[in-house]
C-alpha cells in the first residue's frame, strides 16, 4: 500500500511539472490601492477649486497679466467659475486684464464622464469593523438598561460624530482642466477630477442645440 502511494505521489509531481502553475489564459482583474476623490455638491466647492487654481497661478506666474477666457458654451458651472476665479485671482494679488492683449489666456475645459457599468466599490478600510463595534455598543444598554429605547443613544452619538464624513460614490464624474496659454504655447495645465451627483450633470453640460429641419424654399406655387 505504501509503495502504491509513493508511486502515485511521484507520478502526480511529475505530471504537475509538465504545467506552469502561475499561468492564466487571460489577464486577471486586480485593484488599485485605496485612493480618495472628493465629491462636488455645492457652489462653494466651485469656489474652493477657484481659490486653489488662483493660488497656483499666482505662484507660477507672479506679476504676469492674465486674461480669463469665458467658455464658448456657457453652463451654470462656467458662468459661476468665471466670476469665482476672477475674484480669487484679484484677492490673491494677480493682474487680471479685461482684454486679451498683452496677457496670458486662462481657459478651462469641462468633461462629464458617465460610467454605464461600474463594478463594486469596496468600503473604506475599517468600515465594517466600525459598524460591528457600533452594533456591539448599541446592544450593551439594550441588554442591561431597563428602557430599550435608551439603546439608540450610543448609536445616535456615533452617527452625529461621523455623519459629516459619510458620502457615496457616483457613476458620474467631472474632469476640470485649467490651462494658461500665450503665443501658441501651453504654459500651465492642471486637471482635477470629482464625483458629482447624477442629477447635477446639467451644471457642467452645455445644452444641445435643438434639431431644426431644413425648409425648402421655392418660387413655385
Task: Enter the DSSP assignment of 101.
Answer: T
Query: Quick one: pLDDT at residue 158?
Result: 55
Angle at 86 between CA 85 and CA 90, to 5 degrees: 115
DSSP E strands, 37-171: 39-40, 65-68, 95-97, 104-114
Q: Among residues 121, 120, 198, 124, which one has the least CA distance to residue 162? A: 124
Query: Quick one: pLDDT at residue 207?
Result: 77
The full length of the chain comes to: 221
The three three-digit cell numbers of residue 201, written as one number: 450633470
Query: Quick one: pLDDT at residue 171?
Result: 86
Query: Quick one: pLDDT at residue 7?
Result: 64
Sheet bearing 172-182, strands edge to edge:
39-40, 185-196, 172-182, 104-114, 65-68, 95-97
Q: Among residues 127, 114, 193, which one has the least CA distance to residue 158? A: 127
Contact (CB, 8 A) for 68 and 106: yes
Residue position matching grid coordinates 452625529: 160
Q: Among residues 99, 78, 97, which one has the least CA distance to residue 178? A: 78
Structural domains in the chain, CATH included, are: 39-111+177-203 (3.30.2300), 127-164 (no CATH)
Query: Quick one: pLDDT at residue 149?
Result: 53
| Paired residues of 110 in beta bridges | 176
Digits of tens for pLDDT over the chain (221 positions)?
666 556 666 566 655 555 566 788 899 888 888 888 999 999 999 999 999 999 999 999 999 999 999 988 899 999 999 999 999 999 999 999 999 999 999 999 999 999 888 766 666 666 556 555 555 555 555 555 555 555 555 555 555 555 555 566 778 999 999 999 999 999 999 999 999 998 999 999 887 766 666 656 555 65
Amino acid at each position: 500500500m505504501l509503495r502504491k502511494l509513493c508511486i502515485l505521489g511521484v507520478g502526480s509531481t511529475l505530471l504537475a511539472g509538465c504545467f506552469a502553475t502561475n499561468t492564466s489564459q487571460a489577464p486577471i482583474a486586480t485593484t488599485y490601492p485605496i485612493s480618495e476623490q472628493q465629491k462636488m455638491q455645492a457652489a462653494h466647492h466651485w469656489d474652493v477649486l477657484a481659490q486653489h487654481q488662483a493660488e497656483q497661478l499666482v505662484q507660477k506666474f507672479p506679476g504676469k497679466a492674465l486674461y480669463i477666457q469665458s467658455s464658448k458654451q456657457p453652463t451654470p458651472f462656467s458662468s459661476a467659475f468665471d466670476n469665482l476665479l476672477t475674484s480669487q485671482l484679484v484677492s490673491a494679488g494677480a493682474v487680471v486684464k479685461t482684454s486679451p492683449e498683452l496677457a496670458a489666456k486662462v481657459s478651462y475645459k469641462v468633461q462629464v464622464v458617465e460610467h454605464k457599468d461600474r463594478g463594486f466599490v469596496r468600503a473604506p478600510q475599517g468600515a465594517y469593523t466600525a459598524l460591528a463595534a457600533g452594533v456591539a455598543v448599541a446592544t450593551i444598554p439594550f441588554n442591561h438598561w431597563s428602557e430599550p429605547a435608551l439603546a439608540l443613544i450610543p448609536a445616535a452619538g456615533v452617527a452625529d460624530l461621523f455623519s459629516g464624513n459619510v458620502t457615496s460614490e457616483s457613476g458620474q464624474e467631472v474632469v476640470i482642466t485649467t490651462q494658461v496659454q500665450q503665443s501658441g504655447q501651453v504654459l500651465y495645465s492642471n486637471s482635477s477630477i470629482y464625483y458629482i451627483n447624477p442629477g447635477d450633470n446639467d451644471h457642467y453640460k452645455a445644452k444641445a442645440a435643438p434639431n431644426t429641419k431644413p425648409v425648402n424654399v421655392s418660387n413655385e406655387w
